[in-house]
Structure 1
């Protein structure tokens, strides 16, 4: 116990800041005392005191930086009085130079603090928007265990154009994942519109083709109404809707130009491409679209991974795409939460810490005990 005691105490950020302030204060005191106690030597203060406010600006607040700058000026005046240099032109120039540098570093610190406050507000608004638009999925939906992640490529943002949602019907769970073409506020608005349409209609439409036709009509109207005529048809949303029944292993899917889901089953990772893919939402009006339902089997314990192209198109420093299928093949025994955590860590390591495109992933697992399959 005695050996661990010295390491048990850790300074808080505020205490660390207070300790750091002692450095410029100690520097000022040392320079002034040295010059006062050695009156016959050349004063060091005029050339060294400028270091104190510059050092304080690197970690202290604007107020503290200004106070240390003022103390440095006072210290210089004390040195000038002690050395009888107050009336000399050179000393006056050195005082003016110290005042100018002090003002500049204090202004720099103020601008830095203001930008930090603005970034904090941006993050707060972004997080609030994410909670409203991209509602967190519960850890359990019916007989399914669920986990999800969203990583926005845009700096200081928490949400972009990727989307996902899940809705319960009386007999199944319907999940959508999608990717809006474009970025910024327009993409967020389009994503919010599609999510609202899905949540409103997913439990009312009896069939997936009916649901997709409704979403296509809604998205086409939303994308064409607010934009100029010459840009109509250039906006679209890739999406896939999955219907997972409570009492059957037969899962239905309609894909509208979206990357295929990944099924993890008994140590194998299998892509489930749509046999009859439909055009992305917003482009269905260009052709006579018929929505075909693809089916596959999802047994109890299987993991279904839905993702956007920001995952599989993520490149490393050598330009290689992220090998999701190969990596996921060794994660078949993971829970949805553990898989999402492992995937996020591995993906960021692959790209060197920052994505070039938004990425969203949803992992679903049919519960072994409560699936009720017949």
Structure 2
């Protein structure tokens, strides 16, 4: 019968005690010339792996004391007793030195990771929980372990033209794409305040990528690639939602438990510094946005997530019929479903941005969203 996970987790913590007891039993009961000295020496080494430094020192002292006491109990000569204690002490000191080095490196790594996460979050700050008539939720899972963000991006802000948001995906993933993300997000923050239309907003981001690509041609490969993007505009009343899709996965509209994929009627090329901008004006499409409706924006880390058999994740099936209304619950549901579908494997950066109309324009009050 397989052991429970709780038992397996506790085994390393009792190992030092078992080694001490095993060493003592071997010294007392084993046939000569077999002794329990190796087990006693291993106890502080194992303690250094599973316990804090102070407790590791305690096990080192216990191991040395046990070696001395057992040598005296079994009637060994004084020279043999001193040799046993010195042997255990030497192994214990080596173990404590290794423990000190590992702890110091762990602290340095924790500081570095905190600084890196703060820098990454400065590039891609979390959106507010509520803005105008909207309640907002976001989730981000970077494909690269240890990274807070990768090649996916999103942004949201109030502008003179209403609430504007975007979600996008830079070519590539992981930390190499973060520099490109900073360019796109920075350009959006500036242009969203002044561009009279979503088409003009996208065109300004196009030009920003062109300039940055030319300036950093020899140092930043990701800038030379394309960026898929979806632009959203919602008026202060929250009654409609206008979309402009530039090669990005379509968003999903949740209305009364039904899920509709808002595919663009005229697909457009992504934002790009390599494909050129010789295209006609992209179509902006407007949809009704009723109270308690939710607009779910995702990247291809969601839509192209696959299970072990290579079957793609079904967003409509995951969200369809759900009674949840609060965007945080919707975001958790979708993120957890993708993780379960992929078996916890990070196949690509995954970003989720959910905008839910709360039925008023009183600063994003979410009382009406409580299930």
5 Å matches for 1:47-196? 47-66=38-57, 68-80=59-71, 83-87=75-79, 92=83, 98=88, 101-196=91-186
1:4 is aligned to none
Contact 1:123/1:158, CA 8 A, preserved across alignment: no
Contact 2:299/2:351, CA 8 A, preserved across alignment: yes
Q: Does 1:324 align with 2:319?
A: no
Q: Does 1:366 align with 2:360?
A: no
1:12 is aligned to none
User: 1: CA distance between counterparts of 2:307 and 2:21?
Assistant: 52
Contact 2:153/2:169, CA 8 A, preserved across alignment: yes
Change (3 A) 1:181 1:86: farther
User: 1: CA distance between counterparts of 2:17 and 2:253?
Assistant: 63
Task: Note the C-alpha offset of 1:152.
Answer: 1.4
1:297 is aligned to 287
5 Å matches for 1:191-206? 191-206=181-196
Contact 2:152/2:173, CA 8 A, preserved across alignment: no
Contact 1:264/1:332, CA 8 A, preserved across alignment: no
2:204 is aligned to 214
Change (3 A) 1:52 1:167: same
5 Å matches for 1:274-313? 274-283=264-273, 286-300=276-290, 301-313=292-304
User: 1: CA distance between counterparts of 2:38 and 2:204?
Assistant: 75
Count of aligned residue pairs for this structure pair: 348
Task: Note the C-alpha offset of 1:64.
Answer: 4.0
2:7 is aligned to none
Q: Give the stretch that moved more between structures: 209-218 or 296-305.
A: 296-305
1:6-54 per-position Cα deviation (integer Å, ceiling 9, x unaligned)? xxxxxxxxxx9xxx69x85797599669969x9x987844243124213
Change (3 A) 1:105 1:308: same
Task: Note the C-alpha offset of 1:198.
Answer: 0.5
1:265 is aligned to 255
1:290-346 per-position Cα deviation (integer Å, ceiling 9, x unaligned)? 331331313222211101101111122222221112211123652212211211222
Q: Matched residue of 2:278: which SS?
A: coil
User: 2: CA distance between counterparts of 1:205 and 1:344?
Assistant: 33
5+ unaligned residues in a row in structure 1: which ranges?
1-15
Change (3 A) 1:27 1:327: closer
5+ unaligned residues in a row in structure 2: which ranges?
1-9, 363-371
1:94-114 per-position Cα deviation (integer Å, ceiling 9, x unaligned)? 667545643453344334423
Task: Note the C-alpha offset of 1:233.
Answer: 7.7
Contact 2:235/2:241, CA 8 A, preserved across alignment: yes
Q: Matched residue of 1:246: which SS?
A: coil
Q: Does 1:351 align with 2:339?
A: no
User: 2: CA distance between counterparts of 1:365 and 1:25?
Assistant: 55
Q: Matched residue of 1:322: which SS?
A: coil
Q: Give the stretch that moved more between structures: 295-304 or 192-201.
A: 295-304
User: 2: CA distance between counterparts of 1:135 and 1:179?
Assistant: 16
Change (3 A) 1:229 1:98: closer
User: 1: CA distance between counterparts of 2:317 and 2:52?
Assistant: 49
State the TM-score, normalizing by the size of structure 2. Answer: 0.80
Task: Note the C-alpha offset of 1:130.
Answer: 4.0
User: 1: CA distance between counterparts of 2:88 and 2:222?
Assistant: 61
Change (3 A) 1:315 1:44: same
User: 2: CA distance between counterparts of 1:343 and 1:230?
Assistant: 33
Q: Matched residue of 2:117: which SS?
A: helix
